[in-house]
């Protein structure tokens, strides 16, 4: 690795390059409508401290400023493919970043799909799954993972290992086996992907948001769907990427938790 990443400081452009290379952003250019990479910031801004968070909200930005951060890395950024006027709450967010000279980076699908740093890969490892392989086709790309628990897991064991709880948005459709062996995972708002899990004979499917539409399908097909909350199912990637920034770039990086319970 270049010595550039071992000095504890980078500029915005250098960090953008690191994010592009580390998360393989180019692989998602045709499938992800979000603006992955740098969203706001001067290319020559010096960066020593990064706040990692799930959402690009004004509260996130204010917390980052309070922490003395030079940059913010989020899963849900400000731009989603469609041009949007910089007014109202969007104006306040962009203005805050510019006023306080804070760079904003985002990674959406790349941070779901990455095997080591992504939401779904991290969850698979926390569950100690074996034979982990890609799962969950979205616009031709697999963004989730599936694997096997040889000993079998209960619903309570899964939710405890992943830190899911009713207070954080947990909903469970408990229609599968008591002991869960074959598991598929796609974080966030991916309830329909349970159909893919059913098609390959999974005992359980883990995602973020629950769906009324899928309730009776899960019941009739005999699969358990564990919905940990959209937010809570997507804390894993930003936390893992923050660790990579520390270990590989020698930057100071902290996770700011602003849960929605949704």
| Alpha-helical regions (H) of the chain | 12-23, 58-66, 88-99, 109-113, 119-126, 155-162, 194-199, 212-221, 235-249
Report, as an integer, the average pLDDT of 30-48: 95
Same domain, 85 and 151: no
Same domain, 144 and 242: no
Beta bridge partners of residue 38, listed in sequence order: 105
Identify whether 79 is part of a domain. yes
CA angle 243/37/30 to nearest 5° reads: 120
Instruction: Report d(CA 66, CA 258) in Å as an integer.
Output: 14
CATH of the domain at 12: 3.40.1390.30
Identify whether 10 is part of a domain. yes
Same domain, 32 and 74: yes
Identify whether 262 is part of a domain. no
Identify whether 260 is part of a domain. no
**Considering the chain, what is the average pLDDT of its residues?**
95
Residue 5 has pLDDT above 90, yes or no: no
Domain span at residue 129? 113-233
Same domain, 124 and 64: no
What are the structure tokens assigned to 80, written together? 């989603």
Same domain, 90 and 148: no
Same domain, 195 and 227: yes
Helix axes of 119-126 and 235-249: crossing angle, nearest 10 degrees: 100
pLDDT value of residue 3? 36
Same domain, 141 and 214: yes
Same domain, 249 and 227: no
**156-189 burial string, b = 16+ CB within 10 Å, else e?**
eebbeebebeeebbbbbbebbeeebbbbbbbbbb
Phi-psi region of 68 (alpha: psi -120 to 50; beta: other; left: phi over 0): left
CA angle 21/254/23 to nearest 5° reads: 15
Question: 99: pLDDT confidence band, cut at 50, 70 and 90?
Answer: very high
pLDDT value of residue 151? 97
Residue 236 has pLDDT above 70, yes or no: yes
Question: 6: pLDDT confidence band, cut at 50, 70 and 90?
Answer: low
How many domains does the structure of the chain reveal? 2
- CA dist 158 → 49, 161, 213, 244 (Å): 33, 5, 23, 25
Catalogue the E-assigned strands of 24-159: 37-40, 46-47, 49-55, 71-76, 103-106, 130-138, 141-153
Identify whether 60 is part of a domain. yes
Identify whether 35 is part of a domain. yes
Residue 17 has pLDDT above 80, yes or no: yes
Same domain, 128 and 228: yes
pLDDT value of residue 1? 31
Residue 102 has pLDDT above 60, yes or no: yes
Residue 128 has pLDDT above 60, yes or no: yes
Report, as an integer, the average pLDDT of 208-231: 97
Identify whether 165 is part of a domain. yes
Same domain, 73 and 123: no
Same domain, 151 and 205: yes
What are the structure tokens assigned to 235, written together? 């804390």
């Amino acid at each position: 690795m270049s010595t550039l990443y071992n000095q504890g400081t980078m500029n915005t452009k250098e960090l953008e390059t690191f994010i592009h290379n580390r998360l393989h952003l180019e692989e998602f250019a045709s499938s992800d409508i979000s603006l992955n990479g740098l969203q706001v910031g001067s290319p020559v801004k010096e960066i020593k401290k990064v706040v990692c968070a799930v959402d690009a909200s004004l509260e996130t930005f204010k917390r980052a400023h309070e922490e003395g951060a030079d940059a913010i890395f989020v899963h849900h950024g400000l731009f989603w493919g469609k041009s949007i006027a910089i007014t109202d709450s969007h104006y306040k967010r962009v203005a805050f970043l510019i006023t306080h000279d804070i760079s904003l980076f985002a990674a959406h699908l790349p941070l779901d799909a990455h095997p080591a740093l992504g939401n779904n890969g991290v969850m698979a490892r926390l569950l100690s799954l074996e034979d982990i392989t890609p799962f969950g086709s979205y616009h031709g790309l697999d963004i989730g993972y599936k694997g096997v628990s040889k000993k079998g897991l209960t619903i309570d064991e899964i939710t405890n290992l992943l830190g899911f709880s009713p207070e954080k948005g947990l909903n469970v459709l408990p229609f599968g086996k008591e002991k869960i062996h074959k598991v598929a995972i796609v974080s966030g708002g991916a309830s329909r992907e349970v159909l893919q899990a059913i098609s390959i004979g999974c005992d359980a499917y883990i995602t973020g948001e629950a769906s009324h539409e899928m309730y009776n399908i899960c019941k009739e097909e005999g699969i358990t769907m564990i919905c940990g909350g959209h937010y809570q199912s997507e804390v894993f990637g930003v936390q893992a990427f923050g660790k990579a920034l520390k270990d590989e770039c020698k930057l100071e990086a902290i996770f700011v938790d602003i849960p929605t319970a949704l």
